[in-house]
Amino acid sequence: MSNKRAKKNSGDRNDKPSLVPTMVAFHLIALIILATIGLVISRSLTRIGALATDTRDVVLPEVFVKQRTAVNLERLGRFAETVYQADDPRIRREYRLAARILTQDSVFGEPEVNRQVVDAYRDIEAVATLRDEQDNKRRQADILFLDFAPGGARLAPLLSLPHGGDMANTLFLASRARVIETLTALKAEFDQAAKASHAAGTARAALDQAGAYLDLRMQDLRIEKRCRLLWLHVNTTLEQVAGNLSVEAATTADSRFTAIAAEAGRAIHTGILAVAVLALAFGVFICFIHRVIVVPILRCVRGLDLIGKGERDITLPGARLRELHDINEAVERSGTLMAELADRTEAMRRANDALEQEIEARKKVQDDLARAKERAEAADRAKSDFLAGMSHEIRTPMNTILGMAELMLETSPTPLQQQYIEIFQASGEMLLGIINDVLDLSKIEAGEVVLENAPIDTRQFAERTREVVAGRVRQKGLAFTVDIGERVPSHFSGDPVRLRQVLVNLIDNGVKFTETGTVRLSIDRAESDPPGRMTFTVTDTGIGIPREVQGEIFNRFTQADASTTRKYGGTGLGLAICDRLVRLMGGSIHLESAPGRGSTFSFTLDFGAGETAAVAPRADSPSLERLTETLARTPVRLLVAEDSDSNQALIELYFSKTACSLDFASDGREAVEKFSSNEYDMVLMDIQMPVMDGYEATRSIRALERERRAAPTPVIAVTANAFREDQERCEAAGCTGYLAKPVSKRKLLESVARHAGGTR
Amino acid sequence: MNLACRLLLVLLLLGSGSPALADGGLRIATEGAYPPFNYMDELGEPAGFDVDIARALCEAMGRPCTVLVDAWGQLIPGLEAGRYDMVVASMAETPERSRLVDFSHYYYRSRSSFVADPGREFIQTPGGLADKSLAAQAGTAQAGYLRRTYGATSKIVLTATLAETLGLLEDGRVDAALVDSLAAFRFLQTDKGARFDFVGVPLPADDPSSTARIAVRKGNRELLDAIDSAIKTIRQDGTYDRINRKYFPFSIY
């Protein structure tokens, strides 16, 4: 379905215009519109500019010239008036000349104007000439008229004629006449009267003179009339020309400014049109962007919103542009994708849940296991602790029992009694050995054992080991041999106590399970071995160990089979201790055995190089008799801190034949109190005591001594805790010597004698 | 007496030996023998239209000035030698003068005309004036025109001053004189000039003689611009018209 749709859409897609070309096309259209508008406006502005420049450079000067011409024409008219009206011929000449100069003005260069101006000047010149002639006539007339004035030579003859008075009156009126018609009438009247008078002589002469005067007056007024007509003509012409020029100038300026205004108006209209077109284009553009870009984008946004709200099947109306069409499709696709994604997420969530449950279950199992392990370990620890506590508790009475047995042997018993006591003693020691083994194993397993690194003399070591086991071998009637290989170094360094413990255990084990034959210890070194590597082998000719149990015999409390226990006894701890100690020293015990053919235990260890001088030869212990004797001679004041009453009694018995004085304290605090109030040569300090233990008591004693600036009193620790760690703790607390329980009489007396400075 | 005055002034100027005025003032030269444009008044001081215009221009430029008088032929050499800063003497801009000095815009216009006895025949062509004697002031545009146009056919008489030219006409020793119309205007109003009148047609308006300009030293652009600007100023503020009316009843600008 979606495939089909995609195909259909992709067919549409190619028909759709792309965004960028469409936008470019729109921009181009906008640019073209802008450019056209710009072109039109700039053309209008250019035209206005050209008109303005032309107006400034051509039209305004033209107008100015026309105005000037009009002004000059008017001025010419004024000059003409002056020439026409002035009575003074000088003034008339001046203004005629001025008019002449004025006509030369370059502003009258235009032919038509120039013609009219030249015509006008000609008229002005004519007026001037006529005026001069008129002046002449008037002067003559005035001279003739003077004779007819009152008292004049011609007045009396004229008055003597009939109608003489009328004629004189007519003459007078004629001299005042200003208009030619009036004068013509007066002259006719005068001529008629003169004809009727028929005068002669002086009267005739008077009449002739009067006639001549009237003729002159007639000429004067005729010239006057002509001047007036000429002036009117000049004036009218010039005013008309000037008026025309003014109007022309005004018209030119007006038409030009009208043209500019029209052009500006066009520019404004174009500008308004341009703004309108631009606004329209902008609007269309906005509409286009809205419809073709914004609306599809908003639809897409809404679509995405719907998808976000969980809608899956999104269908968007088609977009016009290819890119937006693509976006639409992408949005639609994303709806489908979201659906798939949701499905997958759901599946994954379910898987996750299952996984979580599984993890939960597994974790629970693990927790159970851990708890079980913890419980087991706790039980184991409790067992070890119980064993350790039990051993300690057993050891203390055993101490007394063995001590008593030792003391009984001193009482000269009968041979039978001695035999019983010795069995009694052996059983006690065996029990003690069992307890020590239990204690050892629990210490080793608790990781409380730290190996020593001391120089060892190989032969001396082997010899002393033989001494330890010699008694038991002899009792069983077996042969015991020690072989030391040629390549074995004479000295090496290691933990002699632990190494011997392992060997003694293995030998004891061999002795125990061998009825006849030999038990052999060999120490050897292969040629290819690095220096310091040695192999210890213990071989017996005993009952052997079946193959199927060989792997288990190193476990605790395990023997070859239950019947073995019944037959041979033993705790089954010996081999377990050996195995742990060898492992601790960096090796492992190897067993070769078959039932009835004996067993071979071997292990290989790497030791450091030893030093020859480090090991002092062991001094022989003095005999018990000698020790008793010594202590009887030199009495020692002893403070004995011991909580067990039986042990107190035993110790008292040990010292019974000596001269030593004993003072008992049943706990640490009492010991410290006694030490502070009395003087003692030596202190025997039990470690495990109620109220205050031996360590604490020793530290208090040492502190007391430092306080008193007294010489340190020897303090010998006597403890059932038999490990070196315990010994080190004692030394750290300030003890001078160390005795492990059970303490034999000889050991105790020897130690006391040594520290008292007696035998050495 | 005028001549003596002028000589004295020239001597004073030469004697001073200081061509430039210390205060930045302008030394203006004029001819003093060309009424009504420039002449010596009753007190022996230079006066006339040119002198009034020169002073008005100085005032418009805001610079003090002194008006000096020298012979027509000495004006341009004096300007070139640095004795004067400007010449205001109704001078026309001819091509020959333009090579020596720079000219301002015109400060008045006037066309040249022939002056003669109007009662006699005057045919204004080389043929019509053949064998006639014609006068003009030496070194002027009018003298140049006469030489160019009528030199081959007519007798040309040149004088040092306008007064001498007009004197030749009064005495009947020449048939016509070619003079500036405005300069002739005064003469024609006198008794001596009453017999005469403008004759023929004036010289064309585009002839160099038709405009009067102010000359400055070649390349003195700064002063020239200041003068042109000052001419506009006095035209606009009415100073020019006031001076114009004092001498002529019509505008000569």
CA gap A419, A64 in Å, rounded: 176
3-state secondary structure of B191: coil
Q: Rounded to an integer, what distance in angstroms lies between the CA atom of residue B8 and that of residue B2?
A: 10
The number of residues in chain A equals 760
Instruction: State how beta strands B65-69 and B155-159 pair.
Output: unpaired
For A297-322, give one letter per residue: b (16+ CB within 10 A) or e.
eebbeebbeebeeeeeebebeebbbb
Helix residue spans in A410-457 (DSSP H)? 415-445
Please confirm whether the linkage preceding B249 is cis (ω < 30° from 0). Answer: no
From chain A residues 35-74, the ones with a CB under 8 A of any chain B CB are 71-72
Spatial distance between the Cα atoms of A342 and A690, rounded to a whole number of angstroms: 74
Q: What is the pLDDT of residue A222?
A: 93
Nearest CA in chain A to B211: A106
pLDDT digits (tens, 9 = 90+) for A290-315: 888 888 888 888 888 888 787 777 77
Fold match flag (B2-110+209-247 vs B112-199): yes
**What pLDDT, on the 0 to 100 scale, is given for residue A564?**
55
A109 touches chain B (CB under 8 A): yes
A120 close to A129: Cβ distance less than 8 angstroms: no
pLDDT digits (tens, 9 = 90+) for B172-188: 999 999 999 998 998 99
Burial tier of B210 (Cβ tally within 10 Å: 0-12, 13-18, 19+): buried
| Confidence at A722, pLDDT banded by 50, 70, 90 | low
- Architecture in CATH of B112-199: 3-Layer(aba) Sandwich (3.40)
pLDDT tens-digit series, residues A514-560: 888 889 999 988 888 887 888 999 999 888 888 887 877 777 665 55
All residues of chain A having their beta carbon less than 8 Å from the beta carbon of residue B188 are 93, 97
Residues 6+ apart with CB under 8 A from A585: A451, A494, A495, A498, A499, A605
Please report residues of A whose CB lies closer than 8 A to that of B212: none
Q: Judge contact between A320 and A287, C-beta under 8 A.
A: no
**Which DSSP helix (H) or strand (E) runs through A50?**
helix A19-54
> What is the least distance, in Å, from the CA of B253 to any CA of chain A?
10
What Å distances lie between residue A114 and A102, A105, A273, CA to CA?
11, 10, 51
pLDDT digits (tens, 9 = 90+) for A415-452: 888 888 888 887 787 777 777 777 777 777 777 677 77
Cβ distance of A71 and B251 shorter than 8 Å: yes
* Optimal mutation site among A101, A108, A125, interface B, most CBs of chain B within 10 A: A101
- Helix (H/G/I), strand (E/B), else coil: B28: strand
pLDDT computed for residue A543 by the predictor: 85
Cross-chain Cβ contact A95/B189 below 8 Å: no
3-state secondary structure of B231: helix
Least confident window among A357-361, A370-374, A381-385: A381-385
Separation CA A296–CA A282 (nearest Å): 20
Rounded to whole angstroms, the Cα distance separating B251 from B108 reads 9
Cα dihedral sign, A214-A216-A217-A219: positive
pLDDT at B12: 46
Mutate to test the interface with B, among A97, A113, A118, A125 (most CBs of B within 10 A): A97
The DSSP string of B70-123 is --GGGHHHHHHHTS-SEEEEEE---HHHHTTEEEEEEEEE--EEEEE-TTS---
Tell me, rounded to whole angstroms, the distance of Cα A369 from its chain centroid: 47
CATH number for region B2-110+209-247: 3.40.190.10
Of A152, A278, A263, which Cα lies nearest the Cα of A210? A152
Nearest CB neighbour to A97, from listed B109, B189, B205? B189
Q: Is the pLDDT of residue A247 over 50?
A: yes
| pLDDT band, residue A757 (cuts 50/70/90) | low
Taking CA atoms, A555 is separated from A550, A560, A603, A705, in Å, by 10, 11, 17, 50
Residue A108 contacts B where some CB pair is shorter than 8 Å: no
> With contacts defined as CB-CB under 8 Å, which chain B residues touch A100?
181, 197-198
**For residues A234-264, b (16+ Cβ closer than 10 Å) or e, as one string?**
bbebbeebbeebbebbeebbeebeebbeebe
Rounded distance between C-alpha atoms, residue A584 and residue A441, angstroms: 12
Residue A662 pairs in a beta bridge with A638
% of chain A beyond a pLDDT of 90: 15
Tell me the pLDDT tens digit for each residue of B55-74. 999 999 999 999 999 999 99
Cβ atoms B29, B79 nearer than 8 A: yes
Contact A576, A554 (CB under 8 A): yes
Reduced to 3 states (helix: H, G, I; strand: E, B; else coil), residue A708 is helix
Q: How do residues B226-249 score in pLDDT, each as one tens digit?
A: 999 999 999 999 999 999 999 988
Bridge partners (DSSP) of residue B161 are none
Residue B17 pLDDT? 37
Question: What band does A562 get if pLDDT is binned at 50, 70 and 90?
Answer: low
Which of B113, B189, B251 lies nearest to residue A104, judging by beta carbons?
Answer: B113
3-state secondary structure of B44: coil
> Which residue of chain B has the CA closest to A101?
B181
Nearest-CA neighbor of A95 among B248, B170, B125? Answer: B248
All structural domains of chain A, each given as residue ranges with its CATH number in brackets, are 50-265 (1.20.58), 342-445 (1.10.287), 449-609 (3.30.565.10), 624-755 (3.40.50.2300)
Rounded CA-CA distance A445/A557 in Å is 14
Encode pLDDT of A661-718 as tens digits.
888 988 889 989 999 888 888 898 888 888 888 889 999 999 988 888 888 888 998 8
Tokens standing for residue A453: 């690194």
* Count of pairs with CB atoms under 8 A, one residue in A, one in B: 43
Residue A64 has a pLDDT of 83
Average pLDDT, whole number, for chain A?
A: 83
Radius of gyration of the CA atoms of chain A, in A: 84
> Residue A582, exposed/middle/buried by CB under 10 A (0-12, 13-18, 19+)?
buried
Residue for token pair 């056209």? A36
Pairing of strands A715-719, A737-740: parallel
Confidence of residue A570 (pLDDT cuts 50, 70, 90): low
Say if A75 is an interface residue toward chain B (CB within 8 Å).
yes
CB contact under 8 A, B198 and A100: yes
User: Which pLDDT band, with edges at 50, 70 and 90, does A612 fall under?
Assistant: low
Chain A residue numbers with beta carbons less than 8 Å from the beta carbon of B205 are 106, 109
Q: Please state the three-class secondary structure of A641-667 as a single string.
A: ECCCHHHHHHHHHHCCCCCCEEEEECC
Using CA atoms, how far apart are residues A57 and A49, in angstroms rounded to an integer? 12
The string of pLDDT tens digits covering residues A72-100 is 888 889 999 999 999 899 999 999 999 99
Q: Over pLDDT 70: what percentage of chain A?
A: 92
Residue B57 CA: distances (Å) to CA of B35, B39, B64, B106, B218: 20, 19, 10, 13, 20
Point out the residue among A75, A98, A106 whose CB comes nearest to the CB of B205. A106
Higher pLDDT, A556 or A366: A366
What is the band of A130 on the pLDDT scale with cuts at 50, 70, 90? very high
Contact A67, A246 (CB under 8 A): yes
Indicate which of A65, A90, A104, A105 best probes the interface with B, i.e. most B CBs within 10 Å of its own CB. A104
DSSP A480-534: EEEEE-TTS-SEEEE-HHHHHHHHHHHHHHHHHT-SSSEEEEEEE--TTSPTTEE
d(CA A345, CA A351): 10
H-assigned helices in A289-321:
295-309
* CA A601 – CA A587 distance, rounded (Å): 13
Domain assignments of chain B as residue spans, ordered by start: 2-110+209-247, 112-199
For the ranges A145-154, A558-567, A737-746, B1-10, the lowest mean pLDDT is seen at: B1-10
Of the candidates B110, B188, B202, the beta carbon closest to that of A97 is on: B188
- Judge if ipTM > 0.90: no
The number of C-alpha atoms within 13 Å of B32 and in the hemisphere containing its C-beta is 25
Mean pLDDT is lowest, of A377-391, A550-564, B100-114, for A550-564
CA distance A20 to A306: 29
Report the distance separating Cα B107 and Cα B105, nearest Å. 6
- Amino acid, res. A27: H
Residue A398's contacts (CB-CB under 8 Å, 6 or more residues apart) are A428, A431, A432, A435, A742
Distances (CA, A) of A370 to A365, A382, A409, A646: 8, 18, 56, 46
Residue B181, min C-alpha distance to chain A (Å): 7
pLDDT tens figures, A265-280: 888 888 888 888 888 8
For strand A637-641 and strand A682-686, is the pairing parallel, antiparallel, or unpaired? Answer: parallel
* Residue A194 neighbours by CB under 8 Å, 6+ apart: A167, A207, A210, A211
pLDDT at A8: 44
Angle between helices A745-755 and A624-633 (to 10 degrees): 40
Q: Cα(A715)–Cα(B227) distance, rounded to whole angstroms?
A: 140
- pLDDT, residue A569, reads 54
The residues, ordered by sequence, that sit 6+ positions from A683 with a Cβ below 8 Å of its Cβ are A638, A639, A640, A641, A671, A675, A701, A713, A714, A715, A716
Report the alpha-carbon distance of residue B197 to residue A737 in Å, rounded: 175
Q: Give the helix/strand (H/E) hosting B47.
A: strand B46-47
Q: Is the dihedral of CA A436, A439, A445, A448 positive or negative?
A: negative
Residue of B182, B194, B205 lying closest to A101 (CB–CB): B182
- Say yes or no for a CB contact (<8 Å) between A106 and B250: no
pLDDT exceeds 60 at position A6: no
B181 vs A contacts (CB less than 8 Å): 100-101, 104
Pick the more confident residue, A238 or A609. A238
Q: Is A638 helix (H, G, I), strand (E, B) or coil?
A: strand
User: Is the Cβ of A101 closer than 8 Å to some Cβ of chain B?
Assistant: yes
pLDDT in tens, A436-495: 777 777 777 777 677 777 888 888 888 888 888 888 888 888 888 889 888 888 888 888
Res. A758 pLDDT band, cuts 50 70 90: very low
Q: How far is CA A385 from CA A397, A442, A725, in A?
A: 19, 8, 17
Could you report the per-residue pLDDT of A338-348, keeping only the tens digit for each? 888 888 989 99
The pairing of strands B133-137 and B155-159 is parallel
